[in-house]
Amino acid sequence: MVTTELPPQPTPRRAASTPTGDSNPTHPRRESPSDDTESATELIRTKLRTLSPTLDRETATRRLVGFLARRGYASATAYKVVTTELNAADFGTGAPDRTDRTSGTASSPRRSKLSSPPPADSAEDDEQARAAELVRAKIRTLPRNLDHAKATQRLVGLLARRGFSASTAYAVVKAELAEADLSGD
């Protein structure tokens, strides 16, 4: 009689924690609730400095609670710490700025509701000037025998990848190609 060996069973990537209190080796549970809150608060304060100021409050809350959950904190503790720290930092409430509570410096540039926004023409002119500068630099490296339509497509694509709107990209590319054609003859 021939016996065959069965292949070994794959081990699960994450061991399920048992209700008896056995700790998961990859995500150990914290022992003391006060240590839990203090260490979670420090982690969240550090993480808040790196969050984008354009992030909405709900998304920030989800990310930060998940951040703590991946480190083994209980979900109730994580949510309580995150909401407390978001409130303390005035995150997502339309406050003028978030300040770092330890140093007192602003960690993100937000405009106050009382300050006047920059004139729209100024911001638009700056954007077009930056786009024109990029296009002029790229035009110098394009092959001279390149078709006008293909050059337009490449330049508009360059500006689109840099985050410029389609209308700005086409207007700048059209103007710069016209200027390059006139000066090139």
* Containing structural domain, residue 77: 26-110
pLDDT surpasses 90 at 171: yes
**pLDDT for residue 149:** 93
**pLDDT for residue 107:** 46
- Is residue 46 in a domain? yes
Number of domains into which the chain is organized: 2
- Is residue 4 in a domain? no
Residue with tokens 């022992």: 31
User: Which residue among 59, 77, 110 closes a domain?
Assistant: 110
- Is residue 86 in a domain? yes
**pLDDT for residue 183:** 59
Regarding whether 95 and 41 lie in a shared domain, the answer is yes
- Is residue 20 in a domain? no
Which of 25-29, 80-84, 106-110, 119-123 comes out lowest in average pLDDT? 106-110
Residues 37-59 have pLDDT tens digits of 888 888 888 888 887 778 888 88
Regarding whether 151 and 97 lie in a shared domain, the answer is no
pLDDT classification of 34: cutoffs 50, 70, 90: low
Mean pLDDT to the nearest integer, 76-80: 88
- Is residue 2 in a domain? no
User: Which residue among 65, 85, 110 closes a domain?
Assistant: 110
- Is residue 19 in a domain? no
Which of 22-31, 38-47, 89-98 comes out lowest in average pLDDT? 22-31
What are the C-alpha distances in Å from 88 to residues 23, 48, 100, 144? 33, 11, 10, 58
Regarding whether 100 and 46 lie in a shared domain, the answer is yes
User: Which residue among 81, 110, 139 closes a domain?
Assistant: 110
Q: Are 149 and 170 in contact (CB under 8 A)?
A: no
What are the C-alpha distances in Å from 177 to residues 125, 129, 173? 18, 15, 6
- Is residue 12 in a domain? no
